[in-house]
Amino acid sequence: MSIFSSMETTGSALTAQRLRMDVVSSNLANIDTTRAKQVNGEWEPYRRKTVKLASQQSGPAFSNYLSAAIGRSDQSTGKGVKVTQINEDTETPFKLIYDPTDPDANDEGYVQTSNVDSLKEMTNLISATRSYEANVTAFNANKSMLSKALEIGK
């Protein structure tokens, strides 16, 4: 286990949470977008995007096998978190708003708008922000401990 492994773990979490905040910001910016992309020749409203995170495994490294062979149990199990996918929310239906004057209105006068829910996005933004802040605190605490350890050596 490296002296900097906790910083690597925290750094990967900071990167992942920042990406979550970027995706939420994109969702909120496109909340009223009615023409995001064409599907089968028809314009489709913006679809909400979600971020999928997973544990970042380093795989079966030689050091893990060596530690197991000599009886040491301090094997590292992970190296942080990583973003595995950014998905479009295809399950939530688009919102329908009655506005017959809109050029995107259908024959009945309804306009399809994005499936972004501002309350859900703000909740996700607060969650990502709090996680980011917690990881910054952990990073600073680790940095302080390493600094104190270097002072002991003087």
Predicted pLDDT at 42 = 84
Query: What is the rounded end-to-end Cα distance, in angstroms, of the chain?
Result: 24
> Which residue has tokens 């910016």?
29
Q: State pLDDT tens for residues 104-125.
A: 888 999 999 999 999 999 999 9
pTM of the shown model: 0.79
The residues spanned by each domain of the chain are 5-31+49-88+116-152
Q: What is the 3-state secondary structure (H, E, C) of 54-106?
A: EECCCCCCHHHHHHHHCCCCCCCCCCCEEEEEEEECCCCCCEEEECCCCCCCC
Q: State pLDDT tens for residues 69-81.
A: 676 655 555 678 8
